[in-house]
Amino acid sequence: MELVNAPAPAVYSNLTVEEFIQKYATHPVYTPPTGPQLNAKNWQSESALRMFLNNLTAEVAEDPEKLVVYGGIGQAARTPADARKIVELLLTLEEDESLLVQSGKPVGKIRSHAEAPRVLIANSNLVPHWATWEHFNNLRDRGLMMYGQMTAGSWIYIGTQGILQGTYETFAACGRIHFGGDLRNRLVVTGGLGGMGGAQPLAATIAGATFLGVDIDPERIKKRLETRYIDKMTYDYNEAMRLVLAAQAKGEAISVGLVGDIGDVLERMIQDNITPDVLTDQTSAHDPINGYVPNGMTLVEAKRLREEDPSAYKEKSLKSMARHVHFMLELKNRGARTFDYGNNLREFAMQGGEKDAFHIQGFVPEYMRPLFCEGKGPFRWAALSGDPEDIRVTDEALKELFPENTHMINWLEQAQEKVAFQGLPCRICWLGMGEREKAGLMFNQLVREGKVKAPIVIGRDHLDCGSVASPYRETEGMLDGSDAVSDWPLLNLMANTSGGATWVSFHHGGGVGIGYSQHAGMVILADGTDRADRCLSRVLHNDPAMGIFRHADAGYETAQENAEKFGLNV
């Protein structure tokens, strides 16, 4: 009997493994294949292969030469040889096998089954007593470990867009809570315009604000200009101030990137009696050696000292962070709405001598926790066809699926107009309990009916409602004091593995650095099959449910109400 709406038969490329590597994965040039043809033996392995290469393509990665995707030293693979081997193994992986990856190094295949994850990843995990940057760096220097960040080592980074809506939701909440609805005529100031912080200018302007971002590295600002995340760039403090203050007075939502040291800029603003309305930071402060650049040093000087004397570098870095936060506190006292954006700046500033660093509130308890209690979080997807039209089709299908969700519809319309794709065409929007499952099944139907040209990969950031234990970020200030309990991300990992995610990961240190967080990631494929329907239904129910379980257990009434609303057994 002929199947109705069955997926089209698989079409395979005729490339050998060596030919594929020559074409798509010759270090340092990595490019994901696109279109409906399979290079691997099945779409599950193919999806992991394409997203791994997408993480490393020059459009996406901050430093493909070093396999660094974002976040200072956040890598997708440990060494070029490991990257090559990962590609080889994904090309030949069977549907009853799963690949094991240990901190960016493929270490073996195990027997599994068709609805099990094709890839199981563990990154940067250390026994708690040894979970320090010193021990990690010693292992890394010996080639025994890499830093996976959050979505770098789990192969679901989608460029700066990946954190864009979460940043927008934060700024929008700030506008609602403190400024009577939005951020028009408000000045937002921040440091850090790298792979994560680079989302801030566009997120702020979508929220209506005038924005000033500072970064010591001009190349990072140039990349944000090229990808339309920032409007203007300058090396001159006075020019930057003229631009943003004039725009603020007119209520113009423009963004300016200033090349400079954020501490110096904040000090100058204090001297000039300029107080921003909103102040935060997304420098790479999670890593005081390989991320943050100390005050008074050029990039060349910083690189030299980092290599010659890491201990001296760290000491300078911590003192600079203390100075940086001291100026943030002064501006807070002058009226700036000041919050930490989860990069562990406060902890390292305190180590550097600023005893009042934690007088600055974290962004999650300040703005995001109500969303977490609803099971909401960053739902992201990638079109494996490589065709931006497939993302347009999914955008429109989501609007039809959730016509009552005007906030999501507005976001998608803004994203269609303003977001430039990096690498494979991707999208992100925040969806909650119930919505994620419906969206995933709808995407699978689009693939089944041929309305998109190839399967769709669905994932999320690890910054999510139920997948992280991070006392200085996602789980800061939990109602019951359970900030540091990491059973929850482990349960998330196991729930998504048993549910049939296409690949899963468990990391240590992402966002805030070694010793300060543990978190789980998941990615699942919509390839139009009945198998995918079953896996999507389980995983996209279980994953947001973990957020409600976690927050209901901590005593949040909203989460308890949502548990009852969605029939979750708490």
Q: Which residues belong to the active site?
A: 429
In sequence order, the 6+-apart residues with CB closer than 8 A to the CB of 163 are 196, 199, 378, 461, 463
Do the beta carbons of residue 11 and residue 455 sit within 8 Å? no
**Phi/psi of residue 25, nearest 5 degrees:** -145, 50
**Of 86, 456, 74, nearest to 291 (Cα)?**
74
Query: CA–CA separation, 186 vs 96, rounded Å?
Result: 55
**Phi/psi of residue 125, nearest 5 degrees:** -80, 130
**Of 191, 195, 117, 109, nearest to 152 (Cα)?**
195
Query: CA–CA separation, 195 vs 169, rounded Å?
Result: 18
Query: CA–CA separation, 531 vs 538, rounded Å?
Result: 11
Cα 210–336–331 angle (5° rounding)?
Answer: 115
Q: Which two tokens stand for residue 72?
A: 């200072």
Query: CA–CA separation, 89 vs 93, rounded Å?
Result: 6
Q: Report CA-CA distances (Å) from 482 to 346, 379, 477, 496, 543.
A: 20, 26, 8, 22, 20
- Within 10 angstroms of residue 246's Cβ, the number of other Cβ atoms is 12
Going along 473-541, which residue ranges are E strands? 503-508, 518-526
Encode 530-557 in three state secondary structure: HHHHHHHHHHHHHHHHHHHHHHHHCCCH
Query: CA–CA separation, 71 vs 511, rounded Å?
Result: 8
Radius of gyration of the chain (CA): 23
Query: CA–CA separation, 558 vs 2, rounded Å?
Result: 48
Helices 164-178 + 406-418 axis angle, to 10: 120
Query: CA–CA separation, 362 vs 84, rounded Å?
Result: 40
Task: Give the distance, in angstroms, between the CA of residue 483 and the centroid of all CA atoms in the same chain.
Answer: 21
Q: Report CA-CA distances (Å) from 336 to 177, 283, 342, 354, 366.
A: 14, 19, 18, 19, 15
Q: Is 260 left (phi over 0), alpha (psi -120 to 50) or beta?
A: left
